[in-house]
Amino acid sequence: MAGSTHTVTNQPPPLVGYDVYTADRALTAAVERHLAPELLDEVRSELSGLGRTCGSAQVQEWGALANANPPRLRTHDRYGHRIDEVEFHPSWHRLLGKGVAAGLTAAWVRPGGHVRRAAAFLMWTQVEAGIGCPLSMTHAAVPALRTEPDLAAEWEPRLTSMIYEHELRPARLKAGALFGMGMTEKQGGSDVRANATVARPLPDGESYELTGHKWFCSAPMSDGFLVLAQAPGGLSCFLVPRVLEDGTRNVFLIQRLKDKLGNRSNASSEVEFDGTWARRVGDQGHGVRTIIEMVAATRLDCVLGSAGLMRQAVAQAIHHCDHREAFGGKLVDKPLMRNVLADLAVESEAAATLALRLAAAYDDGGEQERALLRIAVPAAKYWVTKRCAPLTVEAAECLGGNGYVEESGMPRLVRESPLNSIWEGAGNVQALDVLRVLQREPLALNAYLQEVGKARGADHRLDAAIKGLLTELADLEGIEARARRLTERLALVLQGSLLVRFAPPEVADAFCASRLGGDGGAAFGTLPHSLDLASIVDRARPVP
């Protein structure tokens, strides 16, 4: 019969038409653990609605289209006027608008705002990670602006709005606004104190003119930017509006958009300032101190973004193995494949559990929780983001050759996976930040030890890991060269403590055995065979 060789068998159906939130048991448990009881019904409904949106075929197609049609830079209009605009595919605007409407920039003004936003951000990343940058920058700008009450009163209502308006016009005429950030320059990179951009005070005593460049400027289509520049009093933080009050464009010369490995739907740029009008945020000479709260919030978003990528990779891998048969049975039932899937699921749950715990610390806002964040955020950012790339590659391998084909979506996850480890300070920067906190802020280490100590006595491998960590902390010899090793142990012990306290016994057992007890290999799929691997996979299954 003609065409009979093209009958398709033994291929999984697309993973669409499901609720990404309720299918993620680790995420739902974390949200319910950290929210006040009176908020639970409202937040369940809100996040489940967003979960169904994330799982819909239409929204997943928008994500694919936004990725396949990257932004384009238009420096001039047809008449030769400089306009410096970035054009996006309509799918980008649809996704960004839904993200704003879902409260992904409104955490600071909503009850339980950081936990509910963290869950939403983790889910929305799974649709298309490039949308996360402007959402993250806008969210994170709020604490920096609060150092200047007048600026905060003017801008915060726009940044925390749940209305998306992408047209460039004076911010006072918009119901919602987005923010970007410009810190690094080509001669300095992470060493922002080497920045060469100059801020010259203007006669009014409040505003400045900036001259210089930024090697990386995030979200260049935004309404405003926080940037660092050298003022007479030293490196300072400035607010640069994209459009001035009178409706004219500020001098914001986009030189080019970066051609990146992944994150292709998102515009990252190089920009030049040449007499660009700006307002100072915070005191002169305290630019790093002012902007560091923004950086801390974006670093947590790096953790959340990586956790979201991990979750989607694990969901796709398990879904494929649930439907694919080989060697006389379903792949998911094969002992070796089950070990791989369980190991991936444990890593994903550990990442999400830690990320939501840190979001809850933001909601609490007390001194103890703030101290915990100062050490736990850079440690989590270091470790979780580094685990993302090997996990997504292993998950793609679970699909075999299909996982190497663009149509599967797995290559997009793989290309995205290294990004969060590099952005907002790469691995060495995070490890050195941890050392600085340990040396200068004893309250932070005390808060960390109190947190992990809540699980003491529950698992002998965790107890041994805590003891080993204390020994490592007491040894100052060669501490900088050991900073990565120490930061990794801080993150693993904190993850272990949280899983022992809150995860099902089989998940905590697998984590402690392999990550803390040494009973696991360097690759995924090397968990002890005696563990309850089937229950771990079942817990991570995206569609029951």
| CATH assignment of 289-540, among 2.60.40.10, 3.40.30.10, 3.40.50.300, 1.20.140.10 | 1.20.140.10
- Taking the C-alpha atoms of residue 435 and residue 422, their distance in angstroms, rounded to an integer, is 19
CATH class, domain 39-285, is mainly beta
The pLDDT score that the predictor gives to residue 1 is: 54
Residues of CATH 1.20.140.10 domain(s) within the chain? 289-540
Question: Which residues are CB-contacts of 475 (< 8 A; sequence separation ≥ 6)?
Answer: none
Length of the chain: 544
The Cα-based distances of 160 to 102, 163, 203 in angstroms read 11, 9, 32
Which stretches of the chain drop beneath a pLDDT of 70? 1-3
pLDDT digits (tens, 9 = 90+) for 515-527: 999 999 999 999 9
Residues of CATH 2.40.110.20 domain(s) within the chain? 39-285
The pLDDT score that the predictor gives to residue 2 is: 58
Q: Is residue 276 helix, strand or coil?
A: strand
- Taking the C-alpha atoms of residue 400 and residue 415, their distance in angstroms, rounded to an integer, is 17
User: What pTM was computed for the model?
Assistant: 0.97
Burial class from Cβ neighbours inside 10 Å (0-12, 13-18, 19+) for residue 39 reads middle
The pLDDT score that the predictor gives to residue 516 is: 98
The pLDDT score that the predictor gives to residue 192 is: 85
- Taking the C-alpha atoms of residue 141 and residue 451, their distance in angstroms, rounded to an integer, is 28
Residue type, 10: N
The pLDDT score that the predictor gives to residue 354 is: 98
Question: Helices then strands (H, E): number in the chain?
Answer: 18, 11
Cβ–Cβ under 8 Å, residues 377 and 359: no
- Residue keyed to tokens 């409407």: 101
CB atoms within 10 A of CB 482: 16
pLDDT digits (tens, 9 = 90+) for 5-48: 788 999 999 999 999 999 999 999 999 999 999 999 999 999 99
In three-state form (DSSP H/G/I as H, E/B as E, the rest C), the secondary structure along 30-47 is HHHHHCCHHHHHHHHHHH
- Taking the C-alpha atoms of residue 105 and residue 142, their distance in angstroms, rounded to an integer, is 9
Main-chain dihedrals φ then ψ at residue 432, nearest 5 degrees = -70, -35
